[in-house]
């Protein structure tokens, strides 16, 4: 014996199924692109150039793959606003140990930053709605920028 459902019920079920599927597609489209970067005891980032589109959401995951203690070889990733003098920021950071090398006098130049990481630790930042431009990123631990621990996010 076949049971026939009223037309209205099956139309309603299809409408809900369509709404559910379109919501799932929108949610997956909104997921940020993940960029994994490692830093180690040689004072280098594994990734130094990132390209993004205006308005794109990206998540940067920084992992300190080194073995030296945080006090001797901590790493962070600081994304600066376009046009910021990264060398001047780095110079100011040297005396900012109490704030994990993010100088209070330069906070207005920071888009986002990770925590200062010890060995085998990770942290992440999410960047949303970046406008077109070049965003320098650095490790602000003393001397790391000077030996090349830097990169750029190009939004175009």
- Phi and psi for 8 in degrees, rounded to 5? -60, -40
Q: What is the maximum span of the chain, computed from C-alpha positions, in angstroms? A: 82
CATH for 33-155, options being 3.30.360.10, 2.60.40.420, 2.40.50.180, 3.40.640.10: 2.60.40.420
Least confident of 23-27, 50-54, 92-96, 116-120: 23-27
* Mean pLDDT rounded to a whole number for the chain: 88
- The pLDDT tens digits for 50-105 are 999 999 999 999 999 999 999 999 999 999 999 999 999 999 999 999 999 999 99
Dist CA 9 CA 91 (whole Å): 68
Q: Is the pTM of this model over 0.85?
A: no
Q: Is 63 exposed, middle or buried (0-12, 13-18, 19+ CB in 10 A)?
A: buried
């Amino acid at each position: 014996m076949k049971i026939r459902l009223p037309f209205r019920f099956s139309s309603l079920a299809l409408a809900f199924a369509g709404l559910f599927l379109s919501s799932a597609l929108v949610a997956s489209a909104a997921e940020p692109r993940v960029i994994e970067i490692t830093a180690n005891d040689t004072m280098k980032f594994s990734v130094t150039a990132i390209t993004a589109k205006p308005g794109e959401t990206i998540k940067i995951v920084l992992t300190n793959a080194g073995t030296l203690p945080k006090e001797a070889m901590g790493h962070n990733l600081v994304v600066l606003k376009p046009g910021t003098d990264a060398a001047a920021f780095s110079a100011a950071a040297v005396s900012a140990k109490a704030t994990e090398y993010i100088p209070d006098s330069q906070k207005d130049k920071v888009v986002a930053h990770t925590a200062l990481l010890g060995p085998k630790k990770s942290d992440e930042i999410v960047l949303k709605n970046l406008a077109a431009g070049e965003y320098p990123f650095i490790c602000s631990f003393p001397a790391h920028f000077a030996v090349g621990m830097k990169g750029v996010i190009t939004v175009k």
